[in-house]
Amino acid sequence: MERTLIILKPDAVQRGLVGQIVSRFEQKGIQIAGAKFMKISQQTAETHYGPHKGKPFYEGLVKFMTSSPVLVLALEGKDVITISRNMMGATFGSKAAPGTIRGDFGVSNSFNLIHGSDSPEAAEKELKLFFKPDELLEWKPAVGVWVYDYAKGAPE
């Protein structure tokens, strides 16, 4: 099983979309391993978006991400990074396909509702930035056997 970081950004929180977005992940069969409602500090935002420092959108992005509370999630599941990113849709709401989170709820090219780790390496780094080890839970949801086929001993 793989883990990823998801951030429901200030626009998702302010628009009251948190429940609908979290429900989509749960309905897909993705497990929540950690959740934190928080206001991201300037330092954390600068660290998280550090790879974009110097780009024209960097300062605006940091300001946006520190402007209002967010919901930070650690999600777990087989291929959860790829699945989550597919569920999120294209970066810009105006270009995201219907049926995706951004396609259904977003139109802005600046406010795009959600962040998701783009690789296992990024997920590991990002999860450590937002969660202490004891804030991530190891648990087995009862529906797991109905989400994955375990006939061969491992989830398929």
Q: Which segments within the chain are labelled E, that is strand?
A: 2-8, 31-38, 70-77, 114-116
pLDDT band at residue 143 using 50, 70 and 90 as cut-offs = confident
pLDDT digits (tens, 9 = 90+) for 82-141: 999 999 999 999 999 999 999 999 999 889 999 999 999 999 999 999 999 999 999 988
pLDDT band at residue 151 using 50, 70 and 90 as cut-offs = confident
Beta carbons of 25 and 143 less than 8 angstroms apart: no
User: Is 152 strand, coil or helix?
Assistant: coil
* CATH of the domain spanning 2-147: 3.30.70.141
pLDDT digits (tens, 9 = 90+) for 32-87: 999 999 999 999 999 999 999 999 999 999 999 999 999 999 999 999 999 999 99
Give the residue numbers marked as catalytic: 115
